[in-house]
Amino acid sequence: MTTKPGRAVGVSWLVAVVAVAGTMSALLVMTSDLGGTAATLARGVGGIETLVRTNGAALDSAGAIAPTSTAVDRAGAEVGALAESIGRGIGALDRMSADLALLSSSLGKSNPPLAGVLADVARSGTGTAGAEASVGRTAALLAQADQTVRELGPLLDETVARSTSIDRKLRALRLIPVP
């Protein structure tokens, strides 16, 4: 079979054009894939930068944990001492309240006998006018003391109730775990 020299050149060009077109298509597909890969890589690099910043902040924060924990431990001990002190104060207030109630009761019981003494003095005559005045002043002072004790009683009860409430709250704070 014989071929013309011009025809062989035409087929060669056709093969060359097809090869170039195939290569160009492959390069286009590759560059398209590389473009997507580059965008994904850029997002990944951005994510890594964010992670590095976040880790840096976390490490900075971690450095503050030990001093904070130490301060919380010290504060816990102080709260415990305060709670114990408040407990002792509540006990003292309870004892004082009981003593004041006893005093109030005693003063209330002493009023009728003093009134009897005053009545006896008044009946006995004129020579006892000075004693009557003295006993009257004593009775007035005792009545005033009785009134003062009666006014202090509810205030002390309120103080005991508030102190107990504060004590309970402080004790509850000691039970809360500190991170």
Q: What is the DSSP letter of 177?
A: P
Q: How far apart are the first and last CA of the chain?
A: 94
| pLDDT tens-digit series, residues 58-70 | 777 777 777 777 7
What pLDDT is attached to residue 59? 77
What pLDDT is attached to residue 1? 42
Average pLDDT score over the chain: 74
Residue extents of the structural domains in the chain? 1-36, 72-179
How does residue 32 score in pLDDT terms, banded at 50, 70 and 90? low
pLDDT at 17 over 60: yes
Q: What is the DSSP letter of 128?
A: G
What pLDDT is attached to residue 57? 81
Q: pTM of this prediction?
A: 0.40
Task: Kindly give, in sequence order, each residue whose CB lies less than 8 Å from that of residue 162, ignoring residues fewer than 6 positions away.
Answer: none
| pLDDT tens-digit series, residues 143-160 | 887 788 888 888 888 888
